[in-house]
Structure 1
Amino acid sequence: MAQLREQPHDFDLFQAISLLERAEPDRAAVGTSVGLDEALRLTAQVSHSFAPSDIGALHDSRQPGPPLTLASPVLSLAGPGGPLPTPLSELLLERRRLRDTSGLEFLDIFNQRLLAFLYRSRRKHHLALSAAASDHAPLVRCLDAMASLGRAEGVRGPHGEQVWLRHAGVQGAAPRSMMTLLAVVRDRLGVRFGGKQFVGGWHTLAPDDRARLYSPGSSAPPQAGLGMGMALGARAWDQCAGLALDAPPLQPAQFAALLPGGKDNAMLTWLVGRHLQSAMQVELKLDLATKPATRLGDRSPVAPRLGLSAWLCSPAGEGASRENATAYAVNQAAAQGAGAHPGAAASHTPGSGGVRRAAHYRQPRFLLAIDAPEGN
């Protein structure tokens, strides 16, 4: 405020009015009352000289009402840019030179309203000029409605989070794409995920859709006719069932936060559920930048969880005993035969006294807990 009082010419007109309006929160906003109880008095700067700025002067008011008066050549009725004839402007300037300002004060009744309405129209479409909360601004309400952000309806995510307003451009389009989903997740979580579409999955058939035997005395259900809807089994494969998100190598803290039950996992689930427009399965694949050995206790950088963050460690290097190396290779081969990831097997080198360091780490894969897309 001190800089505005000393150097008003360095400020934009609407910025200055906004700052002065916020400095008087107990008074009515500019252009919303009769003028005497408003936060600022607006007058016209009438002169035939070139105006170097939209703000002519800012000084204390000499009349009852607003404490400050701002003079501006914008929308002035008199002067070079005004609608009044030049001889009438010259007459008003001559009367002011004789200390008679009654004519100019009469025109300021209209100048105050014209400039105030111009400021209100600009404030309506510029969030930075609004003194009230941004959620109540007309522009925010329009963006919220067009992009289905749910801010006005009170839609909240984990820990009371809201959809960011700057995502209205990428979430307002229909249909929504994988690229916009990745952009929203990257901006919100700071993780550059990769995406894959058309990931197949199984759908469980409803009991009424499954084939069953019926009594001869009752009508045959549609599922009983061959080639007319009969399905063997309780599941159906759909190649368009879902999509997959592949995370880059993560640090242990990020990795743990994206596991089920973590803070980022809940946020990611909510963001994806808000973005999807149909029921889909979402598979998340995580990766660790450094693969630490599994340790029980507080020393482990990632808490060991079976199937997610607990792995068998490869044995020691060349100094390991043959018995330990053989037992490790047998256990890994058995695990591979039981359906483990092929990369989890250790490769044993006969006669080496040990095994080469194994790729014992397996990237966890799991589905996000998204039951159905929200009404967006």
Structure 2
Amino acid sequence: MDTLAGAWGGAMHPLISILLSRPQSFNLFQAISLIERAFPHKKGVSNGLGIDEAVRLKADVGLNFQPSDIHSITENVDPGPALTLVSSVMSLAGSGGPLPIPFTELLLVQRKARDESGLAFLDMFNQRVLGQLYSARKKHHLSLQGSNWKRAVLVKAVKAVSGVGSHQVSRNWLGHSSLHGPAPRSVCGLVTIVADRLKLNCRAKSFVGDWVEYGLNPPAYVGGKRHKALRLGVNTDLGTRVWCQDKAIELTATTHSLAQYESFIPGGDAFNDLNELVDDYFQSDITVIFSPSPPRRVTASLSGSQGLGRSQARLGFTSWLASSADSDAHMPIESLAYPRLRLGMSSNSGVSTRGL
């Protein structure tokens, strides 16, 4: 046993050593999962033909009381799985099996005479019965998935219910599934996700308002019998768009460093991640306006170690127009107009909304 456990090595060695020496202290599903992880080149239980699977499952047939799920785990000398696990769970014969007691007594007499053909015949069914039971439990328990948790049915169900896109495979999305579940999704949930995922503390302001286009509806004209019921300001407006106060929200944030600020303006990696996050979060057509600001200790000067620098000057983002007197006085960054940007992949990201 020690030789077999030592051959595996790695992080699984301590657990496998304990499993081989004291198998009765493990749950049946836990033991099968550990053996599958120890033999990643083998097929999982109930996923192969038996001979190419990670473990061979046999029934512990007897009339005595079984105190544990697992009776024994031994090295398999025959071709096929390296280990043989003997368990009384779902056994066809025995004190808890569906076969009558006389059949169990007949099998015990044959085993005493060193004839195990009857037990081997039942083990063919026991391999499949236990395998199907383990597969059913594995679907709903991530702890049994091992490295294949991304393909688990539970993960797919959580992503489908929470509305997370199929391209998102990070474990972080599962941690935020409770924030994606409610409908409609709250602004507070968006602030929490941005702080957790992008390490940026934002302040949200609702009911900022935005213009809503009428679309392709035919315009109405004054006069005529068809338009007698039209009343300006009641069911008719002038123009091709209308102002909707609950159409937009605004996120304002003060970055911790100049590098972080440059990452959250158009062209930065964090800005692209924020676009995708906002686009995946909201289920309805809501405009999100993002207003980042540089750290308070940075000045608007184009020179000096604490300034923004000429090489990275971007008008409206890292540089502003000012009088010569203000420039010489190192005008504080708080007095400048910060950029206001639309977020969301479906919108024209990175376009200033100062005209709103």
Q: TM-score, normalised by structure 1?
A: 0.68
Q: Per-residue deviation at 1:22? A: 4.5
Match of 1:175?
Answer: 184
Q: Per-residue deviation at 1:146? A: 2.9
Q: Per-residue deviation at 1:241? A: 2.2
Name the aligned partner's letter for residue 274 of structure 1.
D
Q: Report the 3-state secondary structure (helix = DSSP H, G, I; strand = E; otherwise coil) of the residue aligned with 1:143.
A: helix
Spell out, residue by residue over 1:239-284, the C-alpha distance to the aligned partner (whole angstroms, 9 max, x if none).
Answer: 1120111325533332221122211111112211222223222122
State how far apart, in whole Å, the 1-side matches of 2:305 and 2:241 are: 44
Q: Which one of 5, 17, 24 corresponds to residue 32 of structure 2?
A: 17
Are the equivalent residues in 1 in contact too, given 2:299–2:333 (CA < 8 A)? no
Q: Report the 3-state secondary structure (helix = DSSP H, G, I; strand = E; otherwise coil) of the residue aligned with 2:127.
A: helix
- Does residue 1:145 correspond to 2:160, yes or no? yes
Q: Report the 3-state secondary structure (helix = DSSP H, G, I; strand = E; otherwise coil) of the residue aligned with 1:57.
A: strand
- Does residue 1:164 correspond to 2:173, yes or no? yes
Match of 1:370?
Answer: 344
> 1:180-329 alignment to 2 at 5 Å?
180-203=189-212, 227=232, 231-232=237-238, 236-248=242-254, 250-296=256-302, 299=305, 303-310=312-319, 327-328=325-326
Are the equivalent residues in 2 in contact too, given 1:210–1:231 (CA < 8 A)? no
Are the equivalent residues in 1 in contact too, given 2:298–2:333 (CA < 8 A)? no
Match of 2:119?
Answer: 104
Are the equivalent residues in 2 in contact too, given 1:197–1:243 (CA < 8 A)? yes
Q: Per-residue deviation at 1:87? A: 7.2
Name the aligned partner's letter for residue 18 of structure 2.
Q
Q: 1:46 to 1:257 in 2, by over 3 A?
A: same
Match of 2:18?
Answer: 7
Match of 2:350?
Answer: none
State how far apart, in whole Å, the 2-side matches of 1:190 and 1:363 are: 24
State how far apart, in whole Å, the 2-side matches of 1:358 and 1:295 are: 9
State how far apart, in whole Å, the 2-side matches of 1:80 and 1:248 are: 70
Are the equivalent residues in 1 in contact too, given 2:299–2:307 (CA < 8 A)? no
- Residue ranges of structure 2 left out of the alignment (5+ in a row): 1-7, 348-356
State how far apart, in whole Å, the 1-side matches of 2:107 and 2:171 are: 56
Q: Which one of 59, 84, 106 corresponds to residue 44 of structure 1?
A: 59
Q: 1:363 to 1:104 in 2, by over 3 A?
A: farther
State how far apart, in whole Å, the 1-side matches of 2:165 and 2:129 are: 36
Q: Report the 3-state secondary structure (helix = DSSP H, G, I; strand = E; otherwise coil) of the residue aligned with 1:260.
A: coil
Match of 1:29?
Answer: 44
Are the equivalent residues in 2 in contact too, given 1:273–1:372 (CA < 8 A)? yes
CA RMSD of aligned residues (A): 4.4
State how far apart, in whole Å, the 2-side matches of 1:240 and 1:140 are: 34
Match of 2:5?
Answer: none
Q: 1:261 to 1:102 in 2, by over 3 A?
A: same
Are the equivalent residues in 2 in contact too, given 1:44–1:76 (CA < 8 A)? yes
Spell out, residue by residue over 1:296-329, the C-alpha distance to the aligned partner (whole angstroms, 9 max, x if none).
Answer: 4795575443323336899xxxxxxxxx9xx55x
Name the aligned partner's letter for residue 72 of structure 1.
S
Q: Per-residue deviation at 1:109? A: 2.7
Q: Per-residue deviation at 1:6? A: 2.9
State how far apart, in whole Å, the 2-side matches of 1:4 and 1:360 are: 58
Name the aligned partner's letter for residue 194 of structure 2.
V
Are the equivalent residues in 1 in contact too, given 2:212–2:244 (CA < 8 A)? yes
Name the aligned partner's letter for residue 206 of structure 2.
Q
Are the equivalent residues in 1 in contact too, given 2:292–2:340 (CA < 8 A)? no
Q: 1:13 to 1:162 in 2, by over 3 A?
A: closer
- Residue ranges of structure 1 left out of the alignment (5+ in a row): 315-323, 333-354
Q: 1:299 to 1:234 in 2, by over 3 A?
A: farther
Indicate the structure (1 or 2) with the bigger Cα radius of gyration.
1
Are the equivalent residues in 2 in contact too, given 1:189–1:264 (CA < 8 A)? yes
Q: 1:365 to 1:81 in 2, by over 3 A?
A: farther
Larger deviation, residues 240-249 vs 125-134: 125-134
Identity %: 37
Name the aligned partner's letter for residue 35 of structure 1.
G
Q: Per-residue deviation at 1:119? A: 0.8
Q: Report the 3-state secondary structure (helix = DSSP H, G, I; strand = E; otherwise coil) of the residue aligned with 1:164.
A: helix
**Number of corresponding residues:** 328
State how far apart, in whole Å, the 1-side matches of 2:139 and 2:203 are: 39
Are the equivalent residues in 1 in contact too, given 2:300–2:307 (CA < 8 A)? no
Q: Per-residue deviation at 1:125? A: 2.0
Name the aligned partner's letter for residue 182 of structure 2.
A
Q: Report the 3-state secondary structure (helix = DSSP H, G, I; strand = E; otherwise coil) of the residue aligned with 1:109.
A: helix
State how far apart, in whole Å, the 2-side matches of 1:300 and 1:365 are: 20
- Does residue 1:124 correspond to 2:124, yes or no? no
Name the aligned partner's letter for residue 136 of structure 1.
R
Match of 1:352?
Answer: none
